[in-house]
Chain A
């Protein structure tokens, strides 16, 4: 089983829709989680850190479920500019790999 797993999509949604992505992780010792956004042929950019109680930033809400070992990202009122690949990332509690990335979920918001 991969350490971080995501549905690769693509998710094709109309403008204004609400869309949610889930990401599962296998290492229960993982301490910190992030969502990064990556536009085509660009570098990943930090979207949100995910804290134990979850957090919200405008139209974006991230939640962590440690019991089931998954994190989620909810995007409300989707905009065309939200079209990108969303990378689920974890920080291991131990070991020598600072960040472990999922393969990403591709989102296309359609007019």
Chain B
């Protein structure tokens, strides 16, 4: 079975630009979460979507937005990019069933803002 897939794998943007990152969850998983991982830190939660609705939001500015599609894939959008947005952006999927629920990560998109 395919795992979580993300595209693109790498991206270079300049300050002020906009970026869209994409994620496809594991087949059968209905929940997608997005995380930002800056070098030397653990992943920080950005958004969670379940059944196409936002179920959680981390402490990120409104420049960050996301959505989930009927096939449970998801997009993360970041507007007005700043140098500090340079990071590995990780998508994780889960079934959100049972306790605890376990999240499985995609390979990430490495974003560099210059």
Binding site for B on A (CB under 8 A): 4, 31-34, 41-46, 49, 87, 89, 91, 96-104
Contacts and interface: CB of A to CB of B under 8 A. Distances in A.
A46 B42 contact: no
Looking at chain B, what size class is its interface with the partner chain?
20 to 34
Given A44-B43, A44-B105, A97 B100 contact: no
Contact of A34 (B43, B90, B100, B108): B100
B105 A45 contact: yes
A82 B17 CA distance: 40
A103 B40 contact: yes
A98 B31 CA distance: 11
Contacts, number: 59
Contact of B107 (A32, A34, A42, A101): A42
A103 B42 contact: yes
Main secondary structure on A side of the interface with B: strand
Interface stretch (B51-59, B67-75, B79-87): B51-59
Interface in B67-114: 88, 90, 92, 99-108, 110
Contacts of B105: 43-45
B65 interface: no
A42 B43 CA distance: 12
A98 B35 CA distance: 11
17 contacts: A33-B100, A34-B102, A44-B105, A46-B102, A46-B104, A87-B42, A91-B100, A96-B48, A96-B58, A98-B45, A98-B48, A98-B103, A99-B35, A99-B45, A99-B103, A100-B45, A101-B35
